Amino acid sequence: MTTRAGLFNALPDFAFAAVFLVTWIAPLALGDQMVKWLMLVMLMEFIVIHSAAFMGNVALSGAGRLKRGTSILGLGAFYTLFAGGFSLAFRSWWPITSFWIQTLNRLLGAIVGQVPSEEQKAFIMRGWAASAVLYILGVMATLLLPVPRLGLTAQVIAAQHLTGGGAWVEQPQKVIAFGFLYFSLIGWSELHAHAWAGQRKPPQAPGPATTP
């Protein structure tokens, strides 16, 4: 059953999905470099999946407030180093900002109390499992299946000045479609408190890569 808190938690995910969809159809509508930045969002989501469960568990632990705060800051600083690497590569502070926005989005359920407090830890782990499963399945689906370009013409792609190699660089419509699919499904999962992931064993997170 969808709750008010569940809807509140799902709204940022549906907003992300809408941005991906608009960019897929009209790539320049939200900014000339939006394709590049959305690719970065999906790279940051990989780091967020790793970090959110640890930070959430610390936030809900029985440790004192000072210890919890110190531990969260320590974990945040550690993962910010990874985001900082992308910042250097993209020559922008946006990766670090994106990392913290996406991390807060993933921890929103714990912050607003979507479920009773005694179940919050289980809720966070279900959320992590759902994110990991949907990320892996989304990557596989969009890499293996044909994805239409829609508005992502050769001219638009060339204007992004993408560097490196891999399917995401050579066919950016795949990462844009992946983002739309992933955040749409995460939003749906949030609406139902990730109940479908309750009995699943979280998969091993995918190893780091520049791009798929």
One-letter-per-residue 3-state SS of the chain: CCCHHHHHHHHHHHHHHHHHHHHHHCCCCCCCCHHHHHHHHHHHHHHHHHHHHHHHHHHCCCCCHHHHHHHHHHHHHHHHHHHHHHHHHHCCCHHHHHHHHHHHHHCHHHHHCCCCHHHHHHHHHHHHHHHHHHHHHHHHHHHHCCCCCCCCCHHHHHHCCCCCCCHHHHCHHHHHHHHHHHHHHHHHHHHCCCHHHCCCCCCCCCCCCCCC
* Residue 105's pLDDT band (cuts 50, 70, 90): low
Ordered by start, the domain boundaries in the chain are 4-197
pLDDT at 116: 44
Query: In this predicted model, what pLDDT tens digit does every residue of 187-210 receive, in sequence order?
Result: 999 888 888 887 544 444 444 444
Lowest mean pLDDT among 28-37, 75-84, 123-132, 196-205: 196-205
Rounded to two decimals, what is the model's pTM? 0.76
Mean pLDDT of 120-148: 87
Between residues 66 and 78, which one has the greater pLDDT? 78
